[in-house]
C-alpha cells in the first residue's frame, strides 16, 4: 500500500515521496483514513512507529481549504516537551511543502514577541506545550474558539509529567464540536479514563500489545554494583561498536557528574536537561544529531519521541525503588516509519547518587552480590556483558 491509497492528495503523496518514504506504517495505515472521515481517534503504538505522520498528514489534507484568522488558530497540537513540539513542527513543515499553510510553535525559552507576531498573522496549525499556551491565553494573545482539530500527543507522558490539569483547562476553552485525536504509547486504564473526557465515540486503534517493545529495538542488561555502573558504562562504550548513544539519568546533578566523568576518560559528551536554556538545549541536541558529539546525557526531557536518525545505542541510569539491584542497559534501534527513528527507553541501570571517581573505582569487585530482605535475588554467576555471552535472560523479557 502507498500513501495515495489512504486518501491523501497527490501533493501530500509527493511530499512524502520526496522525503524517501514509500509505504505507511501500521499506525498510519489504520489512522489516516479515519482522521480524513472526521472521526475521533484513540490511538496507541510504540514510540518509533510513525504516530506523528499519522495525524499531521491528514490534518494538512483537511486544512488545505479555508483561511486562518488573527489569533484564532484552526487546529491545535499539544505535546509534553519543547523538543517534541519542535519536532512535530519540523515534520509539519516538511509534509506541507506543497501547501500554503501557516504554523506557529509556542514553547518556553523562546521570545514571546516572535510568537505573538506569528499568532497575529493567523495560523492554521498551532503546536504548543500546555504551559506556554496558557501563558499566551492569559495575556489575551490567542483565542481557541475556532479550533476544529485537537491533537493530544504522547498522552501517557502528559500524565506522567503532571500536565493533565493544564490540558483539561485548555480543552475546556475549545468548542465542543471538534475532532479530537488522542495518541499514547500505551492505553492503560488511567489513559482510557482520561480519554473519555476528551474524545467522543472514538475509533480505537492499537497496533501493538500493551507495553510491548518495538521490533526495531533489541534489549540487553548488564548486572553491576551501584558504584560500578560508570565503569561498566565505559566498558560497554569501549567494547561495543557505539556510533552514538543517548544515556538517561533521572537527576540533573547526576547528568553533570556523568558528563564530567566521561570527559575525564576522553569521551565526548553533551548534557540535555530541563534547567538548560532553550537555546542551549537545541544546540546540544543539534550537535548530537549532526554527529559532532557522539554521547548525549539526558533527563526525561528527551525520553519520548525525539527523532534521531541512525541512533546506535540507548542506556538509562536511573534511581530504582529502595534496595533494588543496580543494572546497566543498552539498546539497538533501527529506522522505522515516516517519523524515522525515535528515542525509545531500553532498560534501567538505576543510577544512584554520584559516588565520585575518587576512591570508588573497583570497590566491591570480586565479591559475590548478596540479597538483603526485600531485594531482588542476585544475578547468576556468569561471564560476559551481553545476553548472548551470559545465557541469562531476565524473566520480564520473556513475558
* The pairing of beta strand 245-249 with beta strand 295-298: parallel
Kindly state whether residue 398 falls inside one of the protein's structural domains.
Answer: no
Asked if residue 295 lies in contact with residue 262, where contact means CB atoms within 8 angstroms, the answer is yes
Q: Does residue 397 lie within any of the structural domains?
A: no
Whether 211 is covered by a domain: the verdict is no
Q: Are residues 121 and 241 in the same domain?
A: no
Q: Is the residue at 395 inside a domain? A: no
Instruction: Judge if 276 and 162 occupy the same domain.
Output: no
In this prediction, residue 78 carries a pLDDT of 97
Cell 553533570 sits at which residue? 256
What is the pTM (predicted TM-score) of this model?
0.65
39 and 151: one domain? Answer: yes
Q: Hey, what's the cell of 162?
A: 503532571
- Best CA proximity match to 78, nearest among 48, 55, 45: 55
CATH number at residue 194: 3.40.50.300
Are residues 173 and 310 both part of a single domain? no
Q: Do residues 181 and 244 both lie within one domain?
A: no
Pair (201, 322) in one structural domain: no
**130 inside domain:** yes
Clarify whether residues 161 and 77 are in a common domain: yes
Query: Is the residue at 304 inside a domain?
Result: yes
- Quick one: 362 and 323 in the same domain? yes
Domain limit, last residue, from 183, 206, 229: 206
Q: How many CA atoms lie within 13 A of 240 on its CB side?
A: 23
Residues 323, 373: one domain?
A: yes
Q: Is 394 part of any domain?
A: no
Partnered with residue 41 across adjacent β-strands are: 181, 203
Residue where a domain stops, chosen among 154, 177, 206: 206
Task: Return the pLDDT at 209.
Answer: 60
Tell me: do 281 and 174 sit in the same domain: no
Cα-Cα-Cα-Cα torsion 90, 142, 54, 13, nearest 10 degrees, comes to -60
Long-range contacts of 386-395 (CB under 8 A, 24+ apart): 386/220, 386/222, 387/220, 387/221, 394/221
Q: Among 276, 274, 339, 330, which residue's Cα sits nearest to residue 300? A: 274
Residue span of the structural domain in which 239 resides: 217-389
Please indicate, yes or no, if residue 336 is contained in any of the structural domains.
yes
**What are the CB-based long-range contacts (under 8 Å, 24+) for 169-173?**
169/134, 170/76, 170/78, 170/130, 170/133, 170/134, 170/137, 170/144, 171/197, 171/198, 173/137, 173/144, 173/145
Other CB atoms within 10 Å distance of the CB of residue 175: 11
Beta bridge partners of 90: none
Exposure class string for 29-62: b at 16+ Cβ within 10 A, else e: bbbbbbbbeebbbbbbbbbbbbbbbbbbbbbbbb
Tens place of pLDDT for every residue, the chain, 399 residues? 888 899 999 999 999 999 988 889 999 999 999 999 999 999 988 767 888 999 999 999 999 988 888 999 999 999 998 888 998 999 999 999 999 899 999 998 888 999 999 999 999 999 999 999 999 999 999 999 999 999 999 898 888 888 999 999 999 999 999 999 999 888 888 888 889 999 999 999 988 665 556 666 778 887 888 788 889 889 888 888 788 889 988 788 888 889 999 999 999 999 988 788 878 888 888 888 888 999 999 887 665 556 676 676 666 665 444 333 333 333 333 333 344 333 333 333 333 332 333 333 333 444 444 444 444 444 444 444 444 454 544 444 443
Residue 345's nearest CA partner among 324, 314, 376 is 314
Residue pair 353/369 in contact by the 8 Å Cβ criterion: no
Does 67 share its domain with 107? Answer: yes
Domain count across the chain: 2
Amino acid at each position: 500500500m502507498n500513501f495515495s491509497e489512504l486518501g491523501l492528495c497527490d501533493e501530500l503523496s509527493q511530499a512524502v515521496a520526496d522525503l524517501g518514504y514509500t509505504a505507511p506504517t501500521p499506525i498510519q495505515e489504520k489512522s489516516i483514513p479515519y482522521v480524513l472521515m472526521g472521526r475521533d481517534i484513540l490511538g496507541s503504538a510504540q514510540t518509533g512507529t510513525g504516530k506523528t505522520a499519522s495525524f499531521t498528514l491528514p490534518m494538512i489534507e483537511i486544512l488545505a481549504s479555508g483561511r486562518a484568522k488573527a489569533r484564532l488558530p484552526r487546529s491545535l497540537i499539544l505535546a509534553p516537551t519543547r523538543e517534541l513540539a519542535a519536532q512535530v513542527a519540523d515534520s509539519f513543515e516538511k509534509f506541507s511543502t506543497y501547501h500554503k499553510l501557516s504554523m506557529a510553535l509556542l514553547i518556553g525559552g523562546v521570545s514571546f514577541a516572535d510568537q505573538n507576531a506569528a499568532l497575529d498573522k493567523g495560523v492554521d496549525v498551532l503546536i504548543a506545550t500546555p504551559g506556554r499556551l496558557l501563558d499566551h491565553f492569559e495575556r489575551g494573545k490567542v483565542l481557541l474558539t475556532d479550533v476544529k482539530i485537537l491533537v493530544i500527543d504522547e498522552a501517557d507522558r502528559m500524565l506522567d509529567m503532571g500536565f493533565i490539569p493544564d490540558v483539561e483547562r485548555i480543552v475546556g476553552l475549545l468548542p465542543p464540536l471538534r475532532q479530537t485525536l488522542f495518541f499514547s504509547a500505551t492505553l492503560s486504564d488511567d489513559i482510557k479514563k482520561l480519554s473519555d473526557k476528551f474524545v467522543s465515540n472514538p475509533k480505537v486503534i492499537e497496533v501493538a500489545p500493551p507495553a510491548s517493545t518495538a521490533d526495531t529495538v533489541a534489549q540487553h542488561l548488564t548486572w553491576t554494583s551501584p558504584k560500578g555502573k560508570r565503569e561498566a558504562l565505559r566498558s560497554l562504550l569501549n567494547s561495543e561498536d557505539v556510533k552514538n548513544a543517548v544515556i538517561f539519568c533521572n537527576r540533573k546533578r547526576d547528568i553533570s557528574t556523568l558528563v564530567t566523568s566521561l570527559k575525564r576518560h576522553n569521551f565526548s559528551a553533551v548534557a540535555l536537561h530541563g534547567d538548560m536554556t532553550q537555546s542551549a538545549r537545541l544546540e546540544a541536541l543539534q550537535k548530537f544529531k549532526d554527529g559532532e558529539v557522539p554521547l548525549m546525557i539526558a533527563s526525561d526531557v528527551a525520553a519520548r519521541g525525539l527523532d534521531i536518525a541512525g541512533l546506535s545505542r540507548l542506556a538509562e541510569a536511573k534511581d530504582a525503588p529502595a534496595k533494588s539491584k543496580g543494572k546497566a542497559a543498552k539498546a539497538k534501534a533501527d529506522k522505522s516509519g515516516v517519523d524515522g527513528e525515535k528515542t525509545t527507553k531500553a532498560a534501567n541501570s538505576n543510577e544512584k547518587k554520584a559516588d565520585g571517581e575518587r576512591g570508588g573505582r573497583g570497590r566491591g569487585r570480586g565479591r559475590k552480590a548478596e540479597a538483603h530482605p526485600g531485594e531482588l535475588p542476585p544475578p547468576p554467576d556468569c561471564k560476559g556483558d551481553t545476553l548472548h555471552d551470559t545465557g541469562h535472560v531476565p524473566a520480564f523479557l520473556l513475558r
